[in-house]
Amino acid sequence: EIIDECRSTDRHPKFTKDFPSGIEYYQIEEVTNALAGADLLICGVSSFGVDWFAGKILPLVPENLPVLSVTKGLIDGGDGNLISYPEYWQRHSAPRKLCLNAIGGPCTSYELVARDPSVVTFCGDDTGVLQRLKEMMETAYYHISISTDVMGVESAVALKNAYALGVTVAVGLNEKYNGIDSKEHYNSQAAVFGQATLEMQKMLRLLAGSDGALYVGIGDLYVTTFSGRTRRLGVLLGRGLTLPEALKELEGITLESNVIIERLAVALRSMSKRGTVDIRDFPLMAALGEVFLDGREAYIPWEDFVE
Amino acid sequence: EIIDECRSTDRHPKFTKDFPSGIEYYQIEEVTNALAGADLLICGVSSFGVDWFAGKILPLVPENLPVLSVTKGLIDGGDGNLISYPEYWQRHSAPRKLCLNAIGGPCTSYELVARDPSVVTFCGDDTGVLQRLKEMMETAYYHISISTDVMGVESAVALKNAYALGVTVAVGLNEKYNGIDSKEHYNSQAAVFGQATLEMQKMLRLLAGSDGALYVGIGDLYVTTFSGRTRRLGVLLGRGLTLPEALKELEGITLESNVIIERLAVALRSMSKRGTVDIRDFPLMAALGEVFLDGREAYIPWEDFVE
C-alpha cells in the first residue's frame, strides 16, 4: 500500500513533503527490475527484516553492487558472540563476497527530510568504495565521514538503542517523582547519560576491540534520547508501568531497543558466567537486563554508579 | 541583601523552598565567626570571584579545614598553561598547604533543591578526606563518587561549559533555519554533541594527561546543554546575533562559558603556534575561538568534522 500511495502521490504517507521528481517505485515482486543497472542498493529494513533481507534480496545482488544499510543492531553469530549485520549477511552469503557497507550516526529521517545539517559515518571494508559512496550521497546538509572500523561503528550505534532507553527511564522516574506535567528536569538523565557513555566505551572494547567509534555512538545516543519510540517506552517504564503494560500502550510499534537490550543483557550474563567480564562494570545494562529478561520494575542503580 | 533576606525568611530569594531549619547566616564581615569550629568550608564563587576567594578567605582558612569548591573552570597558571582552581589556590597560599577539594558532575542547583537523584564527583588529593566528605554530604538522592584525578575532573567539567555553548549554537542555527517556534530538532545538536565529546577527550589528554574523567564531563555537558545561561547565549548566537548583541540581551548574567572559551581558545592557538597540537583536531573549539576572540558570526564547521 505504501508503494501504491507513493506511485499516485509521489509522497510517503508518513512524510509531509513530496519526494523529489524522477523517483521510480517498485513492488517487491519487481525487485530484479529495480536492481538492473543500479549503482547502489540501500537497505532500510528493521532488525526484524534482517533474515528476510538475507534470504530474499542478497542472493539477487551482484558482488560488485555496493550495499549500504541503515539497520542498526548486533546479532548472535551462532556461537554466543555478537556480530554486526554486515558481517552476519556476509556469512550468510558465503562463498560469494558481497560489498556490504553501513551507515551510523545521529540522523532522524524527518529532520533529514527537513534538510537539517546532519553528520553520519559510512563504514565498510574498502576505503575506495566508501569514498565513492560519500561522493554519491553527500549534500550541503548531509555530511559524511568514512571508517573501516565496521564492528566499532555498528556496535556503537547499536549500543545507543539500548542505553538511550536507560536515559529515558530516568526521565520517566523524574516525572513520577515531580509530576508528569512538571518542567523537564535534567540532573538524573545527565547522570545516566554519562554512565551510559562510560559503559558504551567498555562494551566497545569488548565487542570491537577498540573504542574509536564511541563518539559516533554518543551523538546517536543523544538524538535517540530525544526522539521516537525508545523515548516513549523508557518514559512509560520509568513512570512505573511494567514492560508488558508499556508494550501494550505502544502496540504496533517496532522497538529496536528491546531487541538489542535483550541481546546485550544475555551476552553480558554469558560473558560474566564465563568470567570474561565483571558485570559490576556495567550496572546500567545489568539493571536493564533485569527489567527486560526478569520482569523487574524499571529502576536506576544510582549507588552502583559511584562505587 | 541576600543574607538579610535569608535571615528574615529562611529562604534564598531565588528559590521557592525554605532552607531546612538550623541554618545560620553570616555577612562577609562575620566570616571568622562562621569559620570558628567549622567541619567543612564550601566555596561557591563564580569564576569572577576566584581571586577574591584566594585573597580574602583562604588566608583565614586553617590548613586542616577541608575546602570543597563548586566553581568550575581553568585558569592560566602564569606560564601560559591552564591549571585547575584548586591548584591555583594552592599556589597562591604557599607555603601553607591547604586541604582543597572540588565537586564536578551534572547537578543543577534547582533540581538538587527538588531532591532529584543526582550523581557528582568529589575530587582532591587525599582519598581519606574525600571519603569523609562523601559520608558528610551523601543523601538518598545525592550520590557521590570520589577521584584523586583533580586536574582530570576539573578540566572535564570546565570544558563542558565551553563545548555546551557549541551545542546550543546548533540549536539556534536550527531555529533560524526552521523557524524559532518550530518543534526542536536534534540531528544538528547531536552531531555537535558527539564532536564536542571527541574534542573534550583530546583536550583532557592534553591538559590532564588522561581522559579517565571524560564521563563526568559528558554528563555535565548534557545538563548544561539544556539549562541556564550557556544555552541562552548559544541559541542567541546561533540565531545570528553578534556576540555583543547577545551579551546585551543577557545583561547582568554571569557567563562561565565565555571565560572558559576565551581561555581555551587562547591556549589552543598558543599550543598550535608552538607546534604541540594540530588545531585541526579541534575544529569546534577553533570555530568558537573565532566567534569569541575575532568577532566572527557563530557557525558550525560541519565539513571539518568529517575530514
| Locus of grid cell 527489567 | A291
Degrees to nearest 5, angle at CA A95 with A94 and A96:
85
Q: Residue B25: helix, strand or coil by DSSP?
A: coil
Residue A285: the pLDDT is: 98
Mean pLDDT for B280-299 is 97
- Give residues with Cβ within 8 angstroms of A33, minimum separation 6: A26
What is the Cα–Cα distance from A161 to A102, expressed in whole angstroms? 16
Cell numbers for B169, please give them.
Answer: 549554537
Give all strands of the β-sheet with A66-69 in edge-to-edge order.
Answer: A41-43, A66-69, A99-104, A118-123, A142-147
Residue B14: the pLDDT is: 86
pLDDT higher than 70, residue A62: yes
Residue B255: the pLDDT is: 82
Q: Inter-chain contact B216–A193, Cβ cutoff 8 Å?
A: no
Q: How high is the mean pLDDT of chain A?
A: 95
A39 class by beta-carbon count within 10 Å (0-12 exposed, 13-18 middle, 19+ buried): exposed
- Percent of chain B past pLDDT 70, that is, above it, reads 99
Residue A292: the pLDDT is: 96
pLDDT higher than 70, residue A252: no
Tens of pLDDT, residue by residue over A116-125, are 999 999 999 9
State the smallest CA–CA distance between residue B189 and chain A in angstroms.
8
Q: Decide which of B282 and B14 is more confident.
A: B282
Residue B303: the pLDDT is: 97
State the smallest CA–CA distance between residue B50 and chain A in angstroms.
26
Q: Scanning every residue of chain A, which has its alpha carbon at the shortest distance from the alpha carbon of B176?
A: A116
Q: Taking CB atoms and an 8 Å cutoff, what residues of chain B touch A301?
A: none
The alpha helices in chain B, defined as continuous H runs, are 2-9, 31-35, 50-52, 85-93, 109-113, 127-137, 150-178, 187-208, 214-226, 228-238, 243-249, 256-274, 283-294, 302-305
Give the number of beta-carbon pairs within 8 Å between A and B: 157
Provide the terminal-to-terminal Cα distance of chain A, rounded to the nearest Å.
54
Contact A239, A175 (CB under 8 A): yes
Q: Does A176 touch chain B (CB under 8 A)?
A: no
Q: How confident is the model at residue B80 (pLDDT cuts 50, 70, 90)?
A: confident
Contact A284, A166 (CB under 8 A): yes
Residues 223-242 of B with CB under 8 A from A: 223, 226-227
pLDDT higher than 80, residue A131: yes
In order, the DSSP letters of B226-293 are HSHHHHHHHHHHHTT--HHHHHHHTTT---HHHHHHHHHHHHHHHHHHHTSS-GGG-HHHHHHHHHHH
Q: Decide which of B149 and A178 is more confident.
A: B149
Lowest mean pLDDT among A178-187, B197-206, B215-224, B271-280: A178-187
Q: Scanning every residue of chain B, which has its alpha carbon at the shortest distance from the alpha carbon of A200?
A: B215
Tens of pLDDT, residue by residue over A78-114, are 888 899 999 999 999 999 999 999 999 999 988 998 8
Phi, then psi, of A119 in degrees rounded to 5? -120, 125
The partner residues of A218 in beta bridges, in order of sequence, read none
Residues 281-300 of A with CB under 8 A from B: 300
Degrees to nearest 5, angle at CA B97 with B96 and B100:
130
Q: Residue A95: helix, strand or coil by DSSP?
A: coil
Cα dihedral B112, B98, B56, B33 sign = positive
Q: Taking CB atoms and an 8 Å cutoff, what residues of chain B touch A197?
A: 197, 214-215, 218
Upstream peptide bond of B95 is cis (omega within 30 degrees of 0): yes
Q: How confident is the model at residue B252 (pLDDT cuts 50, 70, 90)?
A: low
pLDDT higher than 80, residue B165: yes
Q: Scanning every residue of chain A, which has its alpha carbon at the shortest distance from the alpha carbon of B197?
A: A215
Q: Does B129 touch chain A (CB under 8 A)?
A: no
Q: Residue B103: helix, strand or coil by DSSP?
A: strand
What is the Cα–Cα distance from A227 to B49, expressed in whole angstroms? 40
Mean pLDDT for A280-307 is 97
Q: Decide which of B183 and A235 is more confident.
A: A235
Q: Scanning every residue of chain A, which has its alpha carbon at the shortest distance from the alpha carbon of B141?
A: A302
Q: Taking CB atoms and an 8 Å cutoff, what residues of chain A touch B184?
A: 226
What is the Cα–Cα distance from A257 to A269, expressed in whole angstroms? 18
Nearest CB neighbour to A185, from listed B116, B197, B216? B116
What is the Cα–Cα distance from B91 to B79, expressed in whole angstroms? 13
Q: Does B205 touch chain A (CB under 8 A)?
A: no
* Predicted complex ipTM: 0.95
Degrees to nearest 5, angle at CA A262 with A258 and A267:
150
Tens of pLDDT, residue by residue over A198-228, are 999 999 999 999 999 999 999 999 999 998 8
What is the Cα–Cα distance from B67 to B148, expressed in whole angstroms? 15
Mean pLDDT for A252-273 is 90
With residue B145 as reference, give the H or E element that holds it.
Answer: strand B142-147
Q: Inter-chain contact B108–A186, Cβ cutoff 8 Å?
A: yes
Nearest CB neighbour to B190, from listed A174, A186, A223? A223
Tens of pLDDT, residue by residue over A154-175, are 999 999 999 999 999 999 999 9
Q: Scanning every residue of chain A, which has its alpha carbon at the shortest distance from the alpha carbon of B106?
A: A187
pLDDT higher than 80, residue A254: no
Q: Inter-chain contact B220–A190, Cβ cutoff 8 Å?
A: yes
Q: Taking CB atoms and an 8 Å cutoff, what residues of chain B touch A184?
A: 226
Residue B110: the pLDDT is: 86
